[in-house]
Chain A
């Protein structure tokens, strides 16, 4: 079933209720607004993940979500917003109700260790259709019962795994859990970020991480054909896995959704800054530019890079 459809410059975008997105265009696509924004709404987190690239902490600040709504206002219905759940922003529900009213699609990612303490809130968000896609950062099978509880409510759970930190056995485990529930197993593979705490962790565990990454590099592809499995990748993982080698040129053109900044942008609502992605050091304040102007600029740069 079609969930949303809109025209973005010379591109027609259709989003289905299972998350499938189809983009149709002639010639070179020229989007005028982002199709999705990665939005940071809080810097507070008690997860203390030793590989965290965000440097979030228990004393971190929350974003002003009214200001964020002003910034997002020009975006049409159907645009996706992805935000981290962390330990929860106090204005989260009100914000998500506004997002739903505007017709934007809210997706969130939560660390599995935060599910237990927030399960009622997450269930409320799913039941009231305030979020569609739910990413779960998976690190061990200690929280399988919580994961199953959420998975029974929606088909749109995506497990976030980091190559080099998670293992291929984690995929086997999650596949089994999903098969038991009669669900598709959806995995998002994230590249290893050598920033923030991630760089220290890499220094201390270099050999272990590199050996693990090598297994991902050589063996992951053998899991692609598992029935009921969906794999997606961020740009860093695509680069680190040299994923293009596994695609025919035609398939690559069809499935590659573009580099960071071509169709997407990052919004740090805590610091009130725009960037190409969360890892970009080049940031621009909300006070200096509006979202569409900022996006127009980075998208054009991204197009020119491809042309060159």
Chain B
């Protein structure tokens, strides 16, 4: 086992430098910043056929939120809210999106073939937290209608 204290001497005259990390330290999770009232507002997004990759927490949280709405699953929605609140310290998480009204500013959807793809992330709180807040967890969007698409 190795323990590392990065770049500081023990100057504390009251207790210990029990964690010391620099900007290059690995294994540090991301967050989503609540607004000044402690609220995180998820506005969804449109996740269709585009070939994209995301590892930022907000996009991944929004993807999960849209997936919950597409499945009309309130249980998953509450689970997601709980995980986000616990990790970020937010007092409230609000879903401000619509998956039925095209005219809504936050009209959101996931391509129908991809609905439910977050089910593995929702297996337990820890996996969902790691999916959303770990920058090594990636969300890829794509489609199988491209000329160069191969199931392999």
Q: Which A residues form the contact surface with B (CB < 8 A)?
A: 18-26, 29, 36, 38-40, 53-54, 80, 82-84, 105, 107-109, 132-135, 156, 158, 160, 184, 186, 188, 190, 193, 214, 217-219, 221-222, 224-236, 238, 242-243, 245-248, 250-260, 263-264, 277-279
Complex alpha-carbon distance, A250 and B3, angstroms? 11
Given contacts A22-B2, A107-B11, A134-B11, contact A232 B89 (CB under 8 A): no
Instruction: Identify the closest chain B residue to A29 (Cβ).
Output: B1
Interface of A is mostly: mixed
23 A-B interface contacts by CB (under 8 A): A21-B5, A23-B3, A25-B1, A80-B9, A107-B9, A108-B13, A132-B9, A156-B9, A160-B11, A160-B12, A188-B11, A190-B12, A218-B34, A222-B33, A238-B18, A242-B89, A247-B29, A252-B27, A255-B4, A256-B18, A264-B10, A278-B15, A279-B14
Which listed residue (A108, A218, A224, A251) contacts B23, Cβ 8 A? Answer: A224
Say whether B25 faces chain A, with CB atoms less than 8 Å apart: yes
B 13-48 binary contact with A (CB < 8 Å = 1; else 0): 111111111110111111101100010000000000
B4 proximity list for chain A (CB < 8 A): 20-23, 254-255
Which listed residue (B9, B16, B90, B134) contacts A248, Cβ 8 A? Answer: B134
B112 proximity list for chain A (CB < 8 A): none
Distance in Å: Cβ of A159 to nearest Cβ of chain B = 10
Given contacts A184-B7, A232-B5, A248-B29, contact A227 B23 (CB under 8 A): yes
Complex alpha-carbon distance, A134 and B8, angstroms? 9
- What is the count of residue pairs linking A and B with beta-carbon distances less than 8 angstroms? 208
6 A-B pairs closest in CB distance: A251-B27, A133-B9, A135-B11, A232-B20, A234-B15, A19-B9
Complex alpha-carbon distance, A99 and B5, angstroms? 23
Say whether A26 contacts B1, CB under 8 Å: yes
Q: How many residues of B contact A (CB 8 A)?
A: 40
Complex alpha-carbon distance, A160 and B15, angstroms? 12
A158 proximity list for chain B (CB < 8 A): 8-9, 11
Say whether B34 contacts A82, CB under 8 Å: no
Complex alpha-carbon distance, A231 and B28, angstroms? 12
A231 proximity list for chain B (CB < 8 A): 19-22
Say whether A257 contacts B11, CB under 8 Å: no
Say whether B119 faces chain A, with CB atoms less than 8 Å apart: no
A252 proximity list for chain B (CB < 8 A): 27
Which listed residue (B6, B21, B30, B38) contacts A218, Cβ 8 A? Answer: B38
Distance in Å: Cβ of A71 to nearest Cβ of chain B = 17
Complex alpha-carbon distance, A1 and B10, angstroms? 18
